[in-house]
Amino acid sequence: MKLKLYADRMSQPSRAVLIFCRVNGIDFDEVKVDISKRQQLTPEFAEINPMKKVPAIVDGRFKLFESHAILQYLASAFPGVADHWYPADLFKRAKINSVLDWHHSNLRRGAAPLVLNKALAPALGLPLNPKAAAEAEIILSASLAKIESFWLKGNGRFLLGSLQPSIADLSLVCEIMQLEVLDDKVRARILGPHKKVIKWIDDTRNATQPHFDEMHAILFKAKEKLLKMHSDAGSDQTESSRKPALPSKI
């Protein structure tokens, strides 16, 4: 039975799993779960993932959620996956696990809330939250600095000094790519100081083409829609300010 992958391409972890499957020739059916329509909250999807988040997979009678666990499973269970993605060497594998654990308690805590509160919230029916965005940016900047100074140490182009990408590279880069929906000046201000990070993103992208660009195309479409939403909102406010004030009651 073919693998089923429940995903929304606007989700960073979903894109990581999708790209991994495509790069490694894993045959799967992509089942779209539209987060903007709250489809992840339906009783039907809760049967797949009781946590009601994407991505999730069904492989025969086996169900699994959490993107890192999914990537580890796919790399181990499917023949033909190159060893560099999740090496059989126990020590190398443990190092990759340490990056993945660090990701969710650091990088994701900065990137995800920053993008949500600075750009995506209105598309989900939520208000922007400048205070939360500012706090998240501090965490994100510290995380990018740690990637630059520690995780990218060594002679290799990828995390942990590796010459080829692992599931950790893919997971972290997909997280950072979510910044594409931000204003170009904001994104440049955040990423600009981290030259090694920028090169590493490009190296990971090039190593996973054409699938990387295919899965991230949705971000650039979303950015266009968000810019239009902000532009329309600004026009409405300008038009409102031009209307003559009603006379005050006597």
pLDDT score at 1: 82
| Mean pLDDT value of segment 28-54 | 97
Q: Quick one: 45 and 63 in the same domain?
A: yes
| Residue 24: its H or E element | none
Q: Quick one: 43 and 106 in the same domain?
A: no
Token pair of 168 as six digits: 């950790």
User: What's the domain range around 124?
Assistant: 85-223
Domain boundary among 34, 57, 82: 82
Where do runs of H (alpha helix) occur along 24-166? 43-46, 67-77, 90-105, 107-115, 130-146
Distance of alpha carbon 104 from its chain centroid, rounded? 11
Q: Quick one: 73 and 98 in the same domain?
A: no
Q: Quick one: 90 and 194 in the same domain?
A: yes
- Average pLDDT value over all residues in the chain: 93
**pLDDT tens per residue across span 158-176:** 999 999 999 999 999 999 9
Domain boundary among 82, 104, 137: 82
Instruction: Select from 79, 85, 67 the least CA-distant residue to 167.
Output: 85
Helix crossing, 195-207 with 211-242: angle to 10°? 120
Q: Quick one: 160 and 90 in the same domain?
A: yes
| Mean pLDDT value of segment 19-40 | 97
Q: Quick one: 190 and 142 in the same domain?
A: yes
Q: How many domains does the chain have?
A: 2
Q: Quick one: 212 and 91 in the same domain?
A: yes
Q: Is residue 241 part of a domain?
A: no
Cα torsion 231, 232, 234, 239 to 10°: value is 140
Q: Quick one: 59 and 176 in the same domain?
A: no
Q: Quick one: 106 and 187 in the same domain?
A: yes
pTM: 0.91
CATH number, position 27: 3.40.30.10
Domain boundary among 82, 116, 134: 82
**pLDDT tens per residue across span 84-136:** 999 999 999 999 999 999 999 999 999 999 999 999 998 888 999 999 999 99
Q: Quick one: 51 and 118 in the same domain?
A: no
Strands 28-32 vs 56-59: parallel, antiparallel or unpaired: unpaired
Q: Is residue 246 part of a domain?
A: no
pLDDT score at 242: 52
